[in-house]
Amino acid sequence: MRELNLTVTSEEQGWQLQRLLKARGFSHRTIIKLKHSGGLTRGGEIIRTVDLLSEGDVITVVLEDEGGLIPNHELKAGIAYEDEDIIVFDKPPYMAVHPSIKHRNDTLGNLFAAMFPNTPFRAINRLDRNTSGLCVCAKNRFAAASLGKKVSKVYYAIVDGDMGSGEIDVPIGRVQDSIIYRNVTPDGQPALTLYSDERHGNGRTLSRVILKTGRTHQIRVHFAHIGYPLCGDEMYGGDLSAINRQALHCGEVSFIHPVSGEHITLTSPIPQDMEQLLTEKENT
């Protein structure tokens, strides 16, 4: 494994990452490999090749050996679906999808490498480390290209109070001095979130959420913006007294199978730590 740190210059300010990599001599094929392997990070977090850069940003490029990601046979995750082209994991919370500086050997990618030696890891939908639920992965380049951005997802989030139903249509952007943190800002990218009441319990709402856009931390930012941060979401003001991670779960995915043409819909119940927020009475 080879690790390179690239510091963004004033001349490169505002460039997309892919432009920077090309200017630094990386081939198109290598950039694609880095994108799918999770080998591009900024501040320890995965960065997309279309993300904009700021002067002083340090981009870490991890060039994996030809063998791919490090296999970890000790890791476990549920499997919601599998065939020759696709596997859909039911990812537990606290497991990152892609390796990063802080998580080199304990990710879904490392589990995939243990299950499918010499097969590149291609996650179609990405989940934050502390978000649980369904993650679609392609076993070959054709399946990955066919699925692309065509996987529909339904999320479930828990907030304190009676949130109701509605939509949130306000732009989201990166806070200028932060690598990770996002907020609602007029000069951000368009973002649309649809939400509806699923059920209530313990003074909380389980909300069913559909994203019409795919911005970083979109649900977390939008819900906090209207005064309902997710339970356990420390970054955006959620209450940590009953759960120590954001109460967010990808509970449904659907897609057209790239080979058979079959429409496939998979579901996953919310995990125990989220269920307890609605059903278990707390000490007062």
CATH classification at residue 223:
3.30.2350.10
* Residue 163 domain-assigned (yes or no): yes
Q: What is the pTM of this model?
A: 0.77
Residue where a domain stops, chosen among 14, 36, 63: 63
Question: What does the pLDDT average to over 185-200?
Answer: 96
* Residue 119 domain-assigned (yes or no): no
The helix (run of H) or strand (run of E) holding residue 122 is strand 122-123
Domain count, the chain: 2
* Residue 68 domain-assigned (yes or no): no
Each residue's pLDDT tens digit, 88-145: 999 999 999 998 878 889 999 999 999 999 888 999 998 999 999 999 999 887 788 8
pLDDT of residue 141: 76
CB 247 within 8 A of CB 234: no
pLDDT of residue 64: 62
CB 63 within 8 A of CB 39: yes
* Residue 270 domain-assigned (yes or no): no
Catalytic residue (one of 128, 160, 233, 273): 128
Any catalytic annotation for residue 128? yes
* Residue 205 domain-assigned (yes or no): yes
* Rounded Cα distance, 233 and 229, in Å: 7
* Residue 25 domain-assigned (yes or no): yes
* Residue 13 domain-assigned (yes or no): yes
Domain of 49 in residue numbering reads as: 2-63
Q: Are strands 248-256 and 132-138 parallel, antiparallel or unpaired?
A: parallel
Structure tokens given for 100: 């990063």
End-to-end CA separation in angstroms for the chain: 52
Each residue's pLDDT tens digit, 50-85: 999 999 999 998 866 455 688 999 999 999 999 999
pLDDT of residue 52: 96
Each residue's pLDDT tens digit, 231-266: 999 999 999 999 999 999 999 999 999 888 899 999
CATH classification at residue 37:
3.10.290.10
Question: What does the pLDDT average to over 167-195?
Answer: 93
**pLDDT band with cut points at 50, 70 and 90 for residue 280:** confident
